[in-house]
Structure 1
Amino acid sequence: MIAEFLKEWSYLAVFVLAALPWVESAFVVVLGIAMLNLNPVAATIMAFLGNWITVLLVVFLFDRWNAWRSKRSGASESKRSERAYRLFVRYGLPGLAFLGPILIGTEIAAGFAMLFKAPRGPVLFWMTCSLAFWTILFAAAAAYGVDLFGLTRMNQ
């Protein structure tokens, strides 16, 4: 009975840890599966959702800030900077989204994308794809016994 109760709270802990800035869902899901012996599918979903909600907050706050900033400045951009912007959104945004969680953190990558004035929709799309990719990859590695962080399952 107590073990079941603690296991339920462990899923909430995975969600909360993944929602913390600079703590990535890919790392938290490995802890949940390898150290806490949680169900891999449930731990993956909780870690993904925790990290994803933080990314949503960052994107929406930056979107509001960008809208406010553009209203205040009212400056128009040159054709050259518009072209550079379109190239970033088309090619740079996917790279930032997929490399960001591993190199600089998900929230920081989302913040940079929004700071570069990328549209909210593509940022959310690419960050969601990236989070799903990395979380599922690390969860599968942990569930199938790949020892990524020097951890072993507690029940072995």
Structure 2
Amino acid sequence: MTTVAPALLGDVSTLLDGAVGPLGYPLVFVLAMVPFIEPFVVIPVAIGLGFDPLLTGVAAFAGSVTAVVAIVAAQERLLAWWARRSAGDDGADDSGTVAPDVDAADEASLDVNVDDAADDEASGRYARARRVGERYGLVGLALGGPPLVGLHLMAVVGAAIGPTRRVTVGWLTAGLAVWTVLLVVGSVAGFAAVESVAGR
């Protein structure tokens, strides 16, 4: 991961530096949705390149919320599809294949399989997201999830533990708003401090 971060920063910087005028803000919107880039990379890079901090924050926030809403909606639809499919009289779907029964023992074995794969970085991040969600609930996940596990895993776990889609999206959006403001203010203050030291 340490070798990926400088490469990502360079790639994001190159992409944003090549954007002309107001066309850079839609690019900030899109880059805020990309895993491993997200607002934590795109906001400081864009502000460092001279983008307007307010417009950068709004574009990154909108991109992040769009990704979260899409993930929560997709997960909800997938679970609804699975429930319809496995609720059939004989367990057969439209193609005539038999859907597997998922009971508590199967769910437990699925959890074990995820935990056994913790060597993989993505599985480790997922396990961390689950622990944050289980320990601190949806509110704790919304506030601590973005920097700890990223917004994509935060949305997946949030959709799993949240009571409804509206409540889940509401809390996750509030957490993203807090982090967006912190990133914009921190980036502006950090670059101002560097300029004042360099100007001496």
TM-score (norm. length: structure 1): 0.74
- Within 5 Å, give how 1:21-36 maps onto structure 2: 21-34=35-48, 36=49
Residue in structure 1 matched with residue 140 of structure 2 by the alignment: 95
1:20 aligns with 2:65: no
Establish whether residue 104 from structure 1 lines up as the match of residue 149 from structure 2: yes
Backbone CA RMSD of aligned residues = 3.1
Change (3 A) 1:14 1:105: same
Distance in 1 of aligned mates of 2:181 and 2:166: 22
Q: What residue is the counterpart of 1:136 in the other structure?
A: 181
For CA contacts below 8 A with separation 6 or more, give which structure has more relative contact order. 1
Using the TM superposition, give the Cα deviation of residue 110 of structure 1 relative to its aligned residue in structure 2, in angstroms: 0.7
2:41 matches 1:52: no
Shift of 1:22: 3.1
1:21 is displaced (CA, Å) by 2.5
Aligned length: 137
Q: In structure 2, what is the equivalent of residue 124 of structure 1?
A: 169
Contact 1:22 1:106 in 2 (8 A): no
Corresponding residue for residue 114 of structure 1: 159
Structure-2 separation of matches of 1:26 and 1:122: 24
> Contact conserved, 2:29 with 2:62, CA < 8 A, in 1?
yes
Q: Deviations over 1:21-73 (max 9, x none)?
A: 23221331111112x11111011001111111111110110111122223344
Structure 1: how far apart are the matches of 2:182 and 2:139?
18
1:136 maps to amino acid = V
**Shift in Å, 1:76:** 10
Contact 2:143 2:175 in 1 (8 A): yes
Identity of aligned residues (%): 31
Provide Cα deviations, 1:61-90, integer angstroms capped at 9, x if missing partner: 01111222233445999xxxxxxxxxx79x
Corresponding residue for 1:66?
Answer: 79
Contact 1:26/1:139 (8 A) holds in 2 = no
Please list every run of 5 or more consecutive structure 1 residues that lacks an aligned counterpart in the other structure: 78-87
Q: Distance in 2 between matches of 1:142 and 1:117?
A: 32
CA distance in 1, matches of 2:183, 2:159: 26
Structure 2: gaps of 5 or more residues = 1-16, 88-101, 105-132
TM-score by length of structure 2 reads: 0.59
1:19 is paired with a residue whose SS is: coil
Counterpart of 1:83 in structure 2 is none
Letter in 1 for 2:61: F
Letter in 1 for 2:154: A
Measured in 2, the distance between the counterparts of 1:128 and 1:13 equals 20
1:115, CA displacement in angstroms?
A: 3.0
SS in 1 for 2:51: coil
Kindly report structure 1 stretches of 4+ aligned residues shifted beyond 4 Å: 73-77
